[in-house]
Structure 1
Amino acid sequence: MLRHPTSLFILLLLATVLAASKPLVQQAPLQIQILNIEKNNGKVVVEIYNTKAEWLKKPFRRVTLAPDENIKKALFAVPYGKYAVSIYQDTNGNGELGMNFLQIPKEPIGFGNNYKPFGEPRFESALIDYGPAAQPVAIKLYSVF
Protein backbone atom coordinates (compact mmCIF):
# COMPACT_ATOMS: atom_id res chain seq x y z
CA MET A 1 0.00 0.00 0.00
CA LEU A 2 1.22 3.49 -0.88
CA ARG A 3 1.64 5.72 2.15
CA HIS A 4 3.84 8.45 0.81
CA PRO A 5 1.94 11.41 -0.78
CA THR A 6 4.50 11.68 -3.60
CA SER A 7 3.99 8.03 -4.58
CA LEU A 8 0.23 8.52 -4.68
CA PHE A 9 0.64 11.64 -6.81
CA ILE A 10 2.91 9.81 -9.27
CA LEU A 11 0.44 6.91 -9.49
CA LEU A 12 -2.47 9.29 -10.19
CA LEU A 13 -0.42 11.20 -12.76
CA LEU A 14 0.50 7.96 -14.53
CA ALA A 15 -3.14 6.82 -14.57
CA THR A 16 -4.20 10.17 -16.06
CA VAL A 17 -1.56 10.02 -18.78
CA LEU A 18 -2.52 6.45 -19.71
CA ALA A 19 -6.23 7.31 -19.84
CA ALA A 20 -5.54 10.33 -22.05
CA SER A 21 -3.38 8.32 -24.45
CA LYS A 22 -6.21 6.00 -25.58
CA PRO A 23 -6.64 6.14 -29.33
CA LEU A 24 -9.63 8.27 -30.29
CA VAL A 25 -12.17 7.12 -32.85
CA GLN A 26 -11.46 9.02 -36.05
CA GLN A 27 -14.41 11.14 -37.23
CA ALA A 28 -15.01 10.96 -40.97
CA PRO A 29 -14.78 14.37 -42.68
CA LEU A 30 -17.78 16.18 -44.12
CA GLN A 31 -17.77 15.14 -47.79
CA ILE A 32 -19.32 17.22 -50.55
CA GLN A 33 -19.35 15.83 -54.06
CA ILE A 34 -19.55 18.49 -56.78
CA LEU A 35 -21.17 17.43 -60.04
CA ASN A 36 -21.41 19.07 -63.47
CA ILE A 37 -18.05 20.89 -63.31
CA GLU A 38 -16.90 22.56 -66.54
CA LYS A 39 -13.68 20.61 -66.96
CA ASN A 40 -10.39 22.58 -67.14
CA ASN A 41 -12.08 25.94 -66.74
CA GLY A 42 -11.02 28.23 -63.85
CA LYS A 43 -11.37 26.77 -60.34
CA VAL A 44 -14.14 25.44 -58.10
CA VAL A 45 -14.73 27.18 -54.76
CA VAL A 46 -16.62 25.29 -52.05
CA GLU A 47 -17.64 27.23 -48.94
CA ILE A 48 -19.46 26.15 -45.80
CA TYR A 49 -21.09 28.49 -43.31
CA ASN A 50 -22.09 27.76 -39.73
CA THR A 51 -23.93 31.01 -38.93
CA LYS A 52 -26.63 32.96 -40.74
CA ALA A 53 -24.91 36.27 -39.90
CA GLU A 54 -21.87 35.32 -42.00
CA TRP A 55 -23.78 33.63 -44.86
CA LEU A 56 -22.16 34.52 -48.20
CA LYS A 57 -19.86 37.00 -46.43
CA LYS A 58 -17.31 35.08 -44.39
CA PRO A 59 -17.17 31.29 -44.80
CA PHE A 60 -16.46 29.04 -41.83
CA ARG A 61 -14.29 26.91 -44.15
CA ARG A 62 -13.33 27.17 -47.83
CA VAL A 63 -11.74 24.72 -50.24
CA THR A 64 -10.57 25.53 -53.76
CA LEU A 65 -10.40 22.66 -56.25
CA ALA A 66 -8.88 22.31 -59.69
CA PRO A 67 -11.57 21.55 -62.30
CA ASP A 68 -9.57 18.69 -63.84
CA GLU A 69 -12.59 16.34 -63.64
CA ASN A 70 -16.35 16.77 -64.11
CA ILE A 71 -16.89 15.45 -60.57
CA LYS A 72 -14.77 16.44 -57.56
CA LYS A 73 -14.98 15.86 -53.81
CA ALA A 74 -14.38 18.50 -51.13
CA LEU A 75 -13.52 17.32 -47.61
CA PHE A 76 -13.93 19.36 -44.44
CA ALA A 77 -12.63 18.36 -40.98
CA VAL A 78 -15.35 20.09 -38.93
CA PRO A 79 -17.45 19.23 -35.88
CA TYR A 80 -20.84 17.61 -36.38
CA GLY A 81 -23.59 20.14 -36.97
CA LYS A 82 -25.54 22.00 -39.64
CA TYR A 83 -23.74 23.85 -42.41
CA ALA A 84 -24.98 25.94 -45.31
CA VAL A 85 -23.11 25.14 -48.53
CA SER A 86 -22.30 27.50 -51.38
CA ILE A 87 -20.27 26.47 -54.45
CA TYR A 88 -19.25 28.35 -57.56
CA GLN A 89 -16.94 27.75 -60.47
CA ASP A 90 -14.71 30.76 -61.00
CA THR A 91 -14.43 30.31 -64.77
CA ASN A 92 -12.70 33.64 -65.39
CA GLY A 93 -10.19 33.13 -62.55
CA ASN A 94 -10.74 36.53 -60.89
CA GLY A 95 -11.23 35.03 -57.40
CA GLU A 96 -14.92 35.86 -57.02
CA LEU A 97 -18.33 34.86 -58.34
CA GLY A 98 -19.03 36.84 -61.50
CA MET A 99 -22.35 38.70 -61.45
CA ASN A 100 -24.22 40.69 -64.09
CA PHE A 101 -25.63 44.18 -63.55
CA LEU A 102 -28.76 42.69 -61.89
CA GLN A 103 -26.55 40.75 -59.42
CA ILE A 104 -27.39 37.44 -61.09
CA PRO A 105 -24.48 34.94 -61.21
CA LYS A 106 -22.76 34.62 -64.60
CA GLU A 107 -20.74 31.57 -63.50
CA PRO A 108 -21.95 28.08 -62.48
CA ILE A 109 -23.24 27.85 -58.88
CA GLY A 110 -24.69 25.30 -56.48
CA PHE A 111 -26.08 25.24 -52.94
CA GLY A 112 -26.72 22.69 -50.22
CA ASN A 113 -29.76 20.45 -50.91
CA ASN A 114 -29.40 21.42 -54.59
CA TYR A 115 -31.44 24.46 -53.67
CA LYS A 116 -32.02 26.81 -56.62
CA PRO A 117 -32.97 30.23 -55.26
CA PHE A 118 -35.11 32.77 -57.00
CA GLY A 119 -33.44 35.94 -55.78
CA GLU A 120 -30.94 36.07 -52.94
CA PRO A 121 -30.01 32.59 -51.59
CA ARG A 122 -31.40 31.77 -48.13
CA PHE A 123 -29.15 30.31 -45.44
CA GLU A 124 -31.83 27.94 -44.12
CA SER A 125 -32.52 26.46 -47.58
CA ALA A 126 -28.84 25.62 -48.15
CA LEU A 127 -28.33 23.89 -44.76
CA ILE A 128 -27.19 20.28 -44.62
CA ASP A 129 -26.94 18.00 -41.59
CA TYR A 130 -23.56 16.50 -40.82
CA GLY A 131 -23.50 13.77 -38.19
CA PRO A 132 -22.04 10.32 -37.48
CA ALA A 133 -24.29 8.61 -40.04
CA ALA A 134 -23.88 11.30 -42.72
CA GLN A 135 -23.30 10.21 -46.30
CA PRO A 136 -21.42 12.35 -48.86
CA VAL A 137 -23.57 15.24 -50.06
CA ALA A 138 -23.89 15.60 -53.86
CA ILE A 139 -24.41 19.10 -55.27
CA LYS A 140 -24.85 19.79 -58.98
CA LEU A 141 -23.52 23.04 -60.39
CA TYR A 142 -25.85 24.91 -62.72
CA SER A 143 -25.86 28.11 -64.74
CA VAL A 144 -28.62 30.66 -64.18
CA PHE A 145 -28.41 31.78 -67.83
Structure 2
Amino acid sequence: MKMLSICSLLIGSSLLGAATPAGETAAVTVVVSSLVSTTSTVKLYFYNTRDGFLKSGKWAFSKAVKPEGKNEFTLPIDLPKGEWAVAITQDLNNNDKLDKNFIGIPTEPFAFSNNIRPTVAAPDFNECKFTVDGPGTVVNIVLKD
Protein backbone atom coordinates (compact mmCIF):
# COMPACT_ATOMS: atom_id res chain seq x y z
CA MET A 1 0.00 0.00 0.00
CA LYS A 2 2.87 2.35 0.84
CA MET A 3 4.42 1.72 -2.58
CA LEU A 4 1.09 2.49 -4.25
CA SER A 5 0.92 5.84 -2.40
CA ILE A 6 4.45 6.77 -3.45
CA CYS A 7 3.71 5.87 -7.09
CA SER A 8 0.49 7.88 -7.01
CA LEU A 9 2.35 10.87 -5.59
CA LEU A 10 5.05 10.67 -8.25
CA ILE A 11 2.56 10.33 -11.09
CA GLY A 12 0.29 13.03 -9.69
CA SER A 13 3.11 15.52 -9.24
CA SER A 14 4.48 15.06 -12.74
CA LEU A 15 3.96 18.14 -14.89
CA LEU A 16 5.03 16.66 -18.18
CA GLY A 17 5.22 13.33 -19.88
CA ALA A 18 3.14 10.23 -20.29
CA ALA A 19 1.68 10.40 -16.77
CA THR A 20 -0.32 13.52 -17.71
CA PRO A 21 -3.76 12.69 -19.13
CA ALA A 22 -4.32 13.75 -22.73
CA GLY A 23 -6.09 17.06 -23.13
CA GLU A 24 -4.75 18.68 -19.97
CA THR A 25 -1.59 20.14 -21.53
CA ALA A 26 -1.06 22.46 -24.45
CA ALA A 27 1.91 23.31 -26.63
CA VAL A 28 3.57 26.59 -25.69
CA THR A 29 6.51 28.25 -27.43
CA VAL A 30 8.78 30.47 -25.34
CA VAL A 31 10.91 32.82 -27.44
CA VAL A 32 13.76 34.54 -25.61
CA SER A 33 15.60 37.33 -27.45
CA SER A 34 18.28 39.96 -26.90
CA LEU A 35 20.59 37.64 -24.98
CA VAL A 36 23.55 39.48 -23.50
CA SER A 37 25.85 36.50 -24.02
CA THR A 38 25.70 33.90 -26.77
CA THR A 39 27.49 31.34 -24.58
CA SER A 40 26.19 31.78 -21.00
CA THR A 41 23.36 29.56 -19.75
CA VAL A 42 19.85 30.98 -19.60
CA LYS A 43 17.62 29.62 -16.83
CA LEU A 44 13.86 29.68 -17.15
CA TYR A 45 11.71 29.27 -14.05
CA PHE A 46 8.07 28.34 -14.63
CA TYR A 47 5.55 29.24 -11.91
CA ASN A 48 1.88 28.31 -11.70
CA THR A 49 1.00 29.71 -8.26
CA ARG A 50 0.86 33.25 -6.93
CA ASP A 51 2.22 32.24 -3.52
CA GLY A 52 5.43 30.71 -4.85
CA PHE A 53 6.20 33.30 -7.51
CA LEU A 54 9.88 34.35 -7.44
CA LYS A 55 10.55 32.38 -4.27
CA SER A 56 13.61 30.17 -4.44
CA GLY A 57 12.69 26.55 -5.05
CA LYS A 58 8.96 27.32 -5.39
CA TRP A 59 8.84 27.13 -9.18
CA ALA A 60 6.84 24.33 -10.77
CA PHE A 61 9.90 23.42 -12.82
CA SER A 62 12.91 25.01 -14.48
CA LYS A 63 14.87 24.61 -17.68
CA ALA A 64 18.43 25.56 -18.53
CA VAL A 65 19.25 26.47 -22.13
CA LYS A 66 22.65 27.05 -23.73
CA PRO A 67 22.31 29.67 -26.50
CA GLU A 68 24.90 27.88 -28.70
CA GLY A 69 26.28 31.05 -30.26
CA LYS A 70 22.91 32.71 -30.90
CA ASN A 71 21.40 35.79 -29.29
CA GLU A 72 17.91 34.25 -29.14
CA PHE A 73 16.31 30.84 -28.83
CA THR A 74 12.95 29.13 -29.00
CA LEU A 75 11.85 26.62 -26.37
CA PRO A 76 8.84 24.46 -27.26
CA ILE A 77 7.22 23.00 -24.17
CA ASP A 78 3.96 21.39 -23.09
CA LEU A 79 2.34 23.07 -20.09
CA PRO A 80 -0.73 22.06 -18.13
CA LYS A 81 -3.63 24.38 -18.88
CA GLY A 82 -4.00 27.29 -16.48
CA GLU A 83 -2.17 30.45 -15.47
CA TRP A 84 1.63 30.54 -15.74
CA ALA A 85 4.45 33.05 -15.35
CA VAL A 86 8.09 32.77 -16.39
CA ALA A 87 11.17 34.40 -14.88
CA ILE A 88 14.50 34.06 -16.65
CA THR A 89 18.10 34.85 -15.80
CA GLN A 90 21.35 34.60 -17.70
CA ASP A 91 24.30 33.41 -15.64
CA LEU A 92 27.12 35.41 -17.22
CA ASN A 93 29.86 34.17 -14.89
CA ASN A 94 28.56 30.58 -14.68
CA ASN A 95 28.43 30.50 -10.88
CA ASP A 96 24.94 28.95 -10.91
CA LYS A 97 23.19 31.90 -9.21
CA LEU A 98 21.76 35.34 -10.00
CA ASP A 99 24.37 37.78 -8.79
CA LYS A 100 23.15 40.93 -7.02
CA ASN A 101 24.72 44.14 -5.79
CA PHE A 102 24.95 45.14 -2.11
CA ILE A 103 21.32 46.35 -2.02
CA GLY A 104 19.91 43.27 -3.74
CA ILE A 105 19.50 44.50 -7.31
CA PRO A 106 20.46 41.86 -9.92
CA THR A 107 23.74 42.52 -11.71
CA GLU A 108 23.11 39.82 -14.31
CA PRO A 109 20.45 39.91 -17.04
CA PHE A 110 16.89 38.93 -16.09
CA ALA A 111 13.39 39.14 -17.55
CA PHE A 112 9.78 38.14 -16.96
CA SER A 113 6.89 36.97 -19.09
CA ASN A 114 4.80 39.84 -20.50
CA ASN A 115 8.13 41.72 -20.61
CA ILE A 116 7.37 43.32 -17.26
CA ARG A 117 10.17 45.74 -16.32
CA PRO A 118 10.13 46.31 -12.56
CA THR A 119 11.33 49.71 -11.42
CA VAL A 120 11.25 49.61 -7.62
CA ALA A 121 10.18 46.12 -6.55
CA ALA A 122 9.93 42.67 -8.08
CA PRO A 123 6.76 42.11 -10.12
CA ASP A 124 3.93 39.96 -8.85
CA PHE A 125 2.45 36.90 -10.47
CA ASN A 126 -0.57 38.79 -11.87
CA GLU A 127 1.67 41.16 -13.84
CA CYS A 128 3.62 38.32 -15.44
CA LYS A 129 0.95 35.66 -15.91
CA PHE A 130 -0.31 34.29 -19.19
CA THR A 131 -3.03 31.74 -19.75
CA VAL A 132 -2.49 28.36 -21.36
CA ASP A 133 -5.86 27.19 -22.65
CA GLY A 134 -5.01 25.58 -25.95
CA PRO A 135 -2.19 24.94 -28.40
CA GLY A 136 -0.33 27.75 -30.07
CA THR A 137 0.45 30.01 -27.10
CA VAL A 138 3.61 32.01 -27.78
CA VAL A 139 5.43 33.80 -24.95
CA ASN A 140 7.99 36.37 -26.14
CA ILE A 141 10.54 37.56 -23.57
CA VAL A 142 13.23 40.16 -24.16
CA LEU A 143 16.17 39.76 -21.79
CA LYS A 144 17.09 42.82 -19.75
CA ASP A 145 20.75 43.54 -19.15
Q: Summarize deviations over 1:24-69 as a string: whole Å, max 9, x none.
A: 6795422210011124332000111011121112210211000221
Q: Structure 2, unaligned stretches of length 5 or more? A: 1-21
Q: CA RMSD of the aligned region, Å?
A: 1.9
d(CA) in 1 for partners of 2:39 and 2:133?
33
What number of residue pairs does the alignment pair up? 120
Query: Which protein has greater RCO, CA pairs closer than 8 Å, 6+ apart?
Result: 2
Q: Is the 8 A contact 1:99 1:107 kept in 2?
A: yes
| Cα distance between partner residues in 2 of 1:87 and 1:34 | 9
CA distance in structure 2 between the aligned counterparts of 1:123 and 1:47, rounded to whole angstroms: 13
State the identity as a percent: 29
Q: Identify which range, 36-45 or 108-117, moves more after superposition.
A: 36-45
What aligned pairs does 1:20-99 form with structure 2 within 5 A after superposition?
28-57=26-55, 58-68=58-68, 69-99=70-100
CA contact (8 A) 1:63 1:74 kept: no
Q: What is the alpha-carbon distance in structure 2 between the residues aligned to residue 25 and residue 122 of structure 1? A: 29
What is the TM-score when the length of structure 1 is the normalising length? Answer: 0.74
Q: Which runs of 5+ in 1 are unaligned?
A: 1-23
| Structure number having the greater helix percentage | 1
Structure 1 residues 121, 25: closer, same or farther in 2, change over 3 A? closer
Q: What amino acid sits opposite 1:37 in the alignment?
A: L
Specify the SS of the correspondent of 1:54.
coil
When residues 48 and 26 of structure 1 are mapped into structure 2, their CA distance, relative to the original with a 3 A threshold, is: closer
Counterpart in the other structure of 2:139: 137
Counterpart residue type for residue 28 of structure 2: L
Instruction: Give the TM-score taking structure 2 as reference length.
Output: 0.74
Cα distance between partner residues in 2 of 1:107 and 1:124: 24
